[in-house]
Amino acid sequence: MNSFYSGPVFEMARRQFDGIADHLEIAFDERDRLLLPKRAIAVSCPIHRDDGSTAVFQGYRVQHHLTLGPTKGGTRFAPSVDVGEVAALAIWMSWKCALAGLPYGGGKGGITVDPYALSPRELEGLSRRYMQEMIPFVGPHTDVMAPDMGTNEQVMAWFMDTYSMYQGQTVSEIVTGKPVECGGTLGRREATGRGVSYLVARAMENLSINPTGATAIIQGFGNVGSVAALSLAKRGVKIIGVSDHTAAYFDHRGLDVVKLDDHVRRNRVLKGYSEEALFDPQDLILQQCDILVPAAMERVITAENAAKLQCRILAEGANGPTTPEADEIIEQRNDIFVLPDILCNAGGVIVSYFEWVQGLQQYFWDEKEVSDKLETALERSFQKVLRRAESDGISQRNAALAIGVETVRKSKSTRGLFP
Ligand code: NAD
């Protein structure tokens, strides 16, 4: 079927799905039902600028499927956001939730905006207006938002407050990734990065790499990248390269990640941290290291650079960092242990699920309970993916996707087609 969705990121999600659908021998008349999103919402969000003018920003929310429960997924504020990108991210969320055994379909939303160009007051105005526009389409049992690139705990607090004001009561379970003082869970902010670090440790065990002295390069130093860096450093890994959209640093002797994190907390970006370790951002991910963690955006590992990677573990903190063309090259090389995005960064949605459950019950857990349950869930998925890759003779990415797609498919076929 000709789809309303387009663009390189959507095409990537479609290509991945087609490959898996062939592998699982899914009939052609069943494929559109699995791939195409249930609904997409587009809204215009006007705000007052600090200079007295008015600006309008385009916002989206895509809900992929409602078969297993409410849709669940992040909200991205970035200049790249369009409906095709959001749809692809929603589709990946579906396979990710299904692989982790969570009772959710995938959702994703976003606003086409550079959040770094807004003042805090403008950012609050835009966040509140976006949530207000979404009220008819979301709910704790319909669609539950979370943070993604360009949004954070504060934005989730504004979303929750706006929704609650309209309901006339506090509805903390409308979003996850909230600050703890607004009904969030301990361990959610760190969940994605810690999950990346846990799975990297498991991959190192598999490859008999000693974490002490192993080296890592992290692209993106936001929520996911900075926590992954800090957590890997705690395991003894030497972080030799980091980057964000403003600067890249490399030092084979190791960088001080605690100082880098402090710098970003104070200045929002890496720029200005050091003159000495400055590096070419394009070349950073091509440097020799044991662990490469793309933790920024999609499509950074491509047909042009995949053959030049010099890592042993590729841990995809970001969603969709590797194009299907690059995947083929990596598969042929057969010397890189890939932790595919829907496995590697699932810690975020797993702890979001814990936050949602705690919010619905108004019964809160301590941090140890959260992190123990997170590791148990990730371990289960890790084992499933390795076993499936082995039994089907396919890549770890395809194994993860196969489990995700198959789970959604089974549920759809058992429920039947309404009416
Ligand atoms: P964030 O906004 O906190 O951080 C994004 C980082 O990427 C920033 O440091 C930014 O400067 C950097 N960046 C942007 N463009 C870049 C470029 N061209 N080169 C290098 N760095 C660049 O976002 P986040 O929440 O950390 O999300 C990062 C990725 O992880 C996204 O792909 C997101 O979808 C994915 N993800 C996030 C979560 C979560 O819980 N936040 C969960 C799963 C997956």
28-85: per-residue pLDDT in tens? 999 999 999 999 999 999 999 999 999 999 999 999 999 999 999 999 999 999 999 9
pLDDT bin (cut points 50, 70, 90) of residue 418 is very high
310 CA to middle of ligand 1, Å?
Answer: 22
The percent of residues in the chain predicted with pLDDT above 70, rounded, is 100
Q: Report the residue among 9, 81, 116, 148 best suited for mutation to probe ligand 1: largest number of ligand atoms under 8 A from its CB.
A: 148
Ligand 1 centroid – CA 226 distance (Å):
10
Mean pLDDT of the chain: 97
Instruction: Please report the pLDDT score of residue 11 as a whole number.
Output: 97
Report the pLDDT value the prediction gives residue 144, as an integer from 0 to 100. 98
Per-residue pLDDT, 3: 76
Ligand 1 contact, 319 CB (< 6 A) = yes
User: Residue 38 catalytic?
Assistant: no
Q: Which atom of ligand 1 is nearest to the CA of 248?
A: 20
Q: Over 80: is that where the pLDDT of 161 sits?
A: yes
pLDDT at 24: 98
Ligand 1 atom nearest residue 188's Cα: 40
Nearest atom within ligand 1 for CA of residue 221: 9
Can you tell me the distance from the alpha carbon of 202 to that of 200, in angstroms, rounded to the nearest whole number? 5
Q: Is the CB of 222 under 6 A from ligand 1?
A: yes
pLDDT in tens, 259-307: 999 999 999 999 999 999 999 999 999 999 999 999 999 999 999 999 9
Question: Distance from first CA to last CA of the chain, Å, rounded?
Answer: 21
Atom of ligand 1 nearest to the CA of 115: 2
Identify the residue whose C-alpha is closest to ligand 1 atom 21.
244
Render pLDDT for 308-353 as a digit per residue (tens, 0 to 9).
999 999 999 999 999 999 999 999 999 999 999 999 999 999 999 9
Does ligand 1 lie within 6 Å of residue 124's CB atom?
no
pLDDT of amino acid 2? 61
pLDDT in tens, 78-131: 999 999 999 999 999 999 999 999 999 999 999 999 999 999 999 999 999 999
DSSP sequence for 14-79: HHHHHHHHHHTT--HHHHHHHHS-SEEEEEEEEEE-TTS-EEEEEEEEEE---SSSSEEEEEEEET
Question: Does residue 221 line the site of ligand 1, with CB under 6 A?
Answer: yes
C-alpha–C-alpha distance, residues 419 and 417, integer Å: 6
**How far is residue 295's CA from residue 312's CA, in Å, rounded to a whole number?**
17
pLDDT of residue 232: 98
Q: Residue of the nearest CA to atom 16 in ligand 1?
A: 245
Rounded distance from Cα 190 to ligand 1 centre (Å): 13
Distance 12 CA to ligand 1 centre (A): 19
What confidence tens digit (pLDDT) does each residue in 181-201 have?
999 999 999 999 999 999 999
Q: Which residue's CA lies nearest to atom 29 of ligand 1?
A: 318
CA of 215 to the centre of ligand 1 (A): 21
| 376-409 pLDDT tens trace | 999 999 999 999 999 999 999 999 999 999 999 9
pLDDT of residue 298: 96
Q: Report the interhelical angle of 188-207 vs 347-361 (nearest 10°).
A: 140
Nearest atom within ligand 1 for CA of residue 244: 21
pLDDT recorded at residue 82 = 98
342 lines ligand 1 (CB under 6 A): no
Burial class (CB in 10 A: 0-12, 13-18, 19+), 140: middle
In angstroms, what is the span from residue 326 Cα to ligand 1's centroid? 20
- What pLDDT, on the 0 to 100 scale, is given for residue 273? 97
| Residue pLDDT, tens place only, 203-245 | 999 999 999 999 999 999 999 999 999 999 999 999 999 999 9
Options 72, 96, 108, 238, the catalytic residue: 108
